[in-house]
Structure 1
Amino acid sequence: MAISSTRDDAHPILVLGANGKTGGRVLARLRAAGHAVRVGSRSTEPRFDWEERATWKSALQDVRAVYVAYQPDLCVPGAVETVTAFFDAAAEAGVEKIVLLSGRGEPEALDAEKALQATSLDWTIVRASWFFQNFSENYFLDEIVAGAITLPEGLAPEPFVDADDIADIAAEALVGGRHSRKLYEVTGPQALTFADAIAQIGQATDREIACQIISKEAYALALAEAGLPPDVAGLVVYLFNTVLDGRNTPVAHGVEQALGRPPRSFAAYVARTAPSGVWGAT
């Protein structure tokens, strides 16, 4: 991926959510291109904590652009209020550009988008839903390795998107003007059921991976019995019930609009990921 070579070492790019699937990839692309970057987290210096607004000023000092991937999700209570306050703080600090990772099909995420668009900041919004990497980096990984995955009933097909496509767009938008005030709704090239996705992984790894479908009530109970913290379990159930009800099944064309090429396919992701051994036998 080629991104702008325009550099400004005195004014770094702040990456929030750098430990996440998209943030880490954005950070890697910016560093590879030689851009000055600042990681915003509770363990960095200067510190950044979404829940401690007093940390925002030092994290934003001299920053020219920010990648915002709010954790755990824009749909959690208080998230829209928090990011809206952050946008205002960024504008006050002299930040020029915000690139926001938004949630496809999430009403709260749409509110966050509107809050950003209402500011004086330049912006780019990448609206996405379920990533390919949810199958290999967390969420479903442990169950896939164990050989059996349990899912709630009624999940609509989802056009999963590659986090690398998101990072390609975001990195370009942070350092160049071509994506100014653009909103890209991104998906993969086709919608798949979860069972289809698991079957492709099983075929690539030469493994039998069972896919058990249970009621939504039983699934919520299973998450609690598995020891998932209530807030995390609640988020998972909310996302399954909301964004996987069919509203996100249609394919969008944001990747092609932004990058001039088709989005990466799930099959290609499986083909390149299986040899790593992350899913077990190949």
Structure 2
Amino acid sequence: MGLDNTILVIGGTGTVGSRVAARLRAAGRDVRAVSRHTVPRFDWADPGTWAAALDGVPTMFVLLPDQTAMPEGFLPAALRAGVRRVVLHSDRGLEVMGLDHLQRAEQEVRDSGAEWTIVRPDWFHQDFETFFRQPVIDGRLCVPVGDARQGFIDADDIAAVEVAALTGDDLLGELVELTGPRALSFGAAVAEIAAATGREITFDGTAGGYREAMRADGLPDEVIEMLIGGFGRLAARGDTKPTGTVERILNRPGRDFSDYVADAVARDVWNPAG
């Protein structure tokens, strides 16, 4: 395929981005997945790396690193290079959690003049093998959201929706909110992992438990309190109602959390010796 068919995947080595790139390649699409460690190298903080990544690509997937804003001038540079479609990976909790950088990025994409789709997923199933893996292994996970049920969704389903947005026209101009097929609390999710692994794992949904755990990890108090405030607003929002969007777009059921846990156990994800 020629360069004019290449799809740029920024953030193509992480949990979702790697799956987006793999699905595109499996579909026969030419993919340029870039990061600070690829060739060409792409670094949000170094505008000198942007041109090589953007050269000759009409379609672009963007997943910003945690707490990283869209740099001023990046989207205009992308359009000048020939990008005509942008799919932005955002976050379903951005307003509640105060993720201002993502709110700004969403608005910049809408205002860019390119075709766009914004995808807002809920918590990932795979968060339990990345951010939460060590607490699960240690036998105690603390997230100050109480017993509010969340819309945990599998990263493969997120990637499948984002590939549909990159390669088809049905989702143009849409803000797509994604949840899994079943809402469940963190406590219930941890209980499923405990039952599947045969290990004792507890969940603490209180601010006090989270504060204690984060202080032990060396997080500054001001950051801890900011996070507790965001999680408190998330808890106050109440139970998530599954959106059914995965099922509508992909014409199949989304992956249930229990299926994810069974697969993760088979992969030995929570083996303390791993």
Q: 1:211 offset after TM fit, Å? A: 2.1
Q: Structure 2: how far apart are the matches of 1:195 and 1:8?
A: 49
Q: Which amino acid aligns with 2:69?
A: A
* Contact in 2 for aligned 1:42/1:49 (Cα 8 Å): yes
CA contact (8 A) 1:16 1:68 kept: yes
1:122 counterpart = 2:130: no
Structure 1: tracts of 5 or more residues without a match: 1-6
Select the residue among 34, 43, 47 that pairs with 2:28.
Answer: 34
How far apart are residue 148 of structure 1 and its match?
A: 2.3
- d(CA) in 2 for partners of 1:232 and 1:50? 24
Aligned residue runs from structure 1 range 53-64, under 5 A:
53-64=47-58
* Contact in 2 for aligned 1:255/1:262 (Cα 8 Å): yes
8 Å Cα contact 2:110-2:116 kept in structure 1: yes
Q: Is the 8 A contact 1:8 1:35 kept in 2?
A: no
Letter in 1 for 2:48: A
Shift of 1:230: 8.5
> Deviation above 3 Å: which 4+ runs of structure 1?
7-11, 227-239, 241-245
1:184 aligns with 2:176: yes
| Residues 229 and 278 of structure 1: CA distance in aligned 2, closer, same or farther (over 3 Å) | farther
Match of 1:114, SS? helix
Corresponding residue pairs, total: 267
Q: What TM-score does the superposition give when structure 2 sets the normalisation length?
A: 0.86
Which sits farther off after the overlay, 151-160 or 224-233?
224-233
Given that 1:131 and 1:162 are in contact with CA atoms closer than 8 Å, whether structure 2 keeps it comes out as yes
State the Cα deviation string for residues 158-211 of structure 1 (Å, max 9, x = none). Answer: 111111111001122222323322221100122211110000111112222122
Letter of the aligned partner of 2:127 in structure 1? N
Aligned to 1:97: 85
Distance in 1 (CA, whole Å) between partners of 2:123 and 2:164 is 22
Shift of 1:228: 5.0
Which range moves more in the overlay, 39-48 or 23-32? 39-48
**Are residues 206 and 190 of structure 1, via their aligned partners in 2, closer, same or farther at CA, if it must alter by over 3 Å?**
same
The Cα of 1:145 is off from its aligned counterpart by: 1.6
Amino acid at match of 1:60: L
Q: 1:3 maps to what in 2?
A: none
RMSD: 2.6
Partners of 1:14 and 1:63 within 8 A in 2? yes
Structure 2: gaps (5+ residues)? none
The residue type equivalent to 2:84 in the other structure is E
Residue in 2 that maps onto 1:271 = 262
CA distances 1:250-280 after superposition (whole Å, capped 9, x unpaired): 2222212321223221112112222111123
Q: Which moved more, 1:233-242 or 1:15-24?
A: 233-242
- Label 1:146 to 1:100 Cα distance change in 2 as closer, same or farther (>3 A): same
Deviation at 1:149, TM superposition (A): 2.0
Specify the alignment match of 2:199 in structure 1: 207
AA at the equivalent of 1:252 = T
Distance of aligned partners of 1:155 and 1:228 in 2 relative to their CA distance in 1, 3 Å threshold: farther
CA offset at residue 33 of structure 1? Answer: 2.1
Partner of 1:69: 63
**Partner residue in 2 for 1:132:** 125
Is the Cα–Cα contact under 8 Å of residues 20 and 162 in structure 2 kept in the other structure? yes
CA contact (8 A) 2:145 2:234 kept: no
Q: 1:92 to 1:187 in 2, by over 3 A?
A: same
Query: Which shifted more, 106-115 or 237-246?
Result: 237-246
Does the 8 Å CA contact 1:105/1:247 hold for their aligned counterparts? no
Aligned in 2, Cα 1:222/1:145: closer, same or farther, shift over 3 Å? closer
Aligned to 1:151: 143
Q: Larger deviation: 200-209 or 221-230?
A: 221-230
Shift of 1:31: 1.7
Alpha-carbon distance between aligned partners in 2 of 1:157 and 1:23, rounded to the nearest angstrom: 26
Equivalent pair of 2:207/2:228 in contact (CA under 8 Å): no
**3-state SS of paired residue (1:152):** coil
Contact 1:105-1:248 at 8 Å conserved across structures: no
| Separation of aligned partners in 2, 1:147 and 1:106 | 29
Amino acid in the other structure paired with 1:195: G
| Identical residues among aligned pairs (%) | 39
Alignment partners' CA distance in 2, 1:98 and 1:13: 10
| Contact 2:91-2:122 at 8 Å conserved across structures | yes
CA–CA separation in structure 2 for the residues paired with 1:115 and 1:173: 18
